[in-house]
Amino acid sequence: MLNRRDFLERSALLSALGFLPRSISAEEYEADVTRTVLPAHFRARPCVVSSANGIKGVQLAYDRIGSGEDALDAIIAGVNLVELDPTDQSVGLGGLPNEDGVVQLDASCMHGPTRRAGAVGCLEDIATPSLVAKAVMDYTTHVLLVGEGARKFAVAMGFKTQNLLTEKSRQDWQRWKSRLSKTDNWLDHDDDVKINWTHGTINMNAVTAAGDVSSVTTTSGLAWKLNGRLGDSPIHGAGQYTDNDVGAAGATGLGEMNIKVCGGFLTVEFMRQGLTPEQAGLKTLERMVRQSEARMLDDKGRPRYDMQLYAVGKDGRYGGVSMYEGASFAVCDDKGARLERCAFLFKNSERPR
Ligand code: GLY
């Protein structure tokens, strides 16, 4: 064991030899946007941020963080509320099915303090894929399990299997199927029922007072997707990303567009460079538009898809951004749980018709 004096002498020597960073002033520290290690006196403002459908979950997660619970456990409890809600057709139980009428769920999570990650894709019959993703992280050396293997793992871990297709989601699927072609043997339904979510998802990110960060994203994915399609939600770096030195970010929206820019990762990287969560999210959206193939843009270069990003910094700053005007996100901090307006790239009037 080194005593304090030995330690200081050794540090001074290593520093002189260039092995350790020299000490810097508070001003230099603030000006250094590449810093990743925060000072020992650092205290964060605890904060939970999520997609708007997580409004109840952010309160629950914030309360749990306040009573000392780990950030990842707290936000998974938050998203479980939505996964188990049969009326939310974007996630878990009641999620809209794939083109075969089968509900296939995706989820991923990252735990900042231990720098671990887990995920599942195309998981059937288990209502809480976020918990299965965490079990992959906690009990295996892998980070992503998919399909039948993911289901088998979940059953082995004691998760309950159930039919996730609610009557409402089954009817919506049947309506979609009946309208696919005028020449098939399905008669068209003449009612015009609006289906709210086609690629809904819940992403939730949190920071504790100690500055520990975590993130989780869970979804039933794109409605009527091809059997086996994975979106961005189970992909670390796309659907969500955490770096405990910087913060966390995640997304809801058309996953294919987000995967191509690693939106969760990119947003965290922009924050590392010194941008606020909101600035970082907007810059990621700009990159997404730039990386969009022509068929996804109108003749004025505006996206034919929607996307939202939600981010929290290690210091408790947060932001939510959307491709188009009008979206909200949920946040809970010492001012309580609330919905706030997302910053946006394009006005609603600019949306392709
Ligand atoms: N963002 C959800 C999905 O595309 O599956």
Which range among 25-29, 115-119, 261-265, 304-308 shows the weakest confidence by mean pLDDT?
A: 25-29
- Please name the helix (run of DSSP H) or strand (run of DSSP E) that holds residue 330, with its range, or none: strand 328-333
Q: Whose CA is nearest to atom 4 of ligand 1?
A: 255
Res. 19 pLDDT band, cuts 50 70 90? very low
Q: Rounded to an integer, what distance in angstroms lies between the CA atom of residue 123 and that of residue 132?
A: 9
Tell me, using a 6 A CB cutoff, whether residue 317 lines ligand 1: no
Give residue 206's pLDDT: 98
Structural domains for the chain: 44-175+195-350 (3.60.20.30)
pLDDT > 60? residue 22: no
Determine the average pLDDT of the residues in 263-289.
98
Nearest CA-CA partner of 123 in 94, 96, 92, 165: 92
pLDDT tens digits for range 259-275: 999 999 999 999 999 99
Q: What's the pTM value of the predicted model, to 2 decimals?
A: 0.86
Q: Please, are residues 235 and 259 in contact by the beta-carbon 8 Å criterion?
A: yes
Give the torsion through C-alpha atoms of 244, 245, 250, 255, to 10 deg: -100
Determine the average pLDDT of the residues in 129-134.
98
Tell me, using a 6 A CB cutoff, whether residue 264 lines ligand 1: no
Give residue 162's pLDDT: 96
E strand residue ranges, 93-221 = 105-111, 116-123, 145-146, 202-207, 213-219
More confident residue, 182 or 207: 207
Res. 187 pLDDT band, cuts 50 70 90? confident
DSSP H helical ranges for 67-204: 71-83, 129-139, 147-156, 167-178
Res. 183 pLDDT band, cuts 50 70 90? confident
Q: Whose CA is nearest to atom 5 of ligand 1?
A: 221
Tokens matching residue 98 = 């794939």
pLDDT tens digits for range 221-271: 999 999 999 999 999 999 999 999 999 999 999 999 999 999 999 999 999
Residue from 215, 219, 229, 262 whose mutation best tests the ligand 1 pocket (most atoms within 8 A of CB): 219
Determine the average pLDDT of the residues in 315-326.
97
Q: Rounded to an integer, what distance in angstroms lies between the CA atom of residue 250 and that of residue 163?
A: 28
Tell me, using a 6 A CB cutoff, whether residue 95 lines ligand 1: no
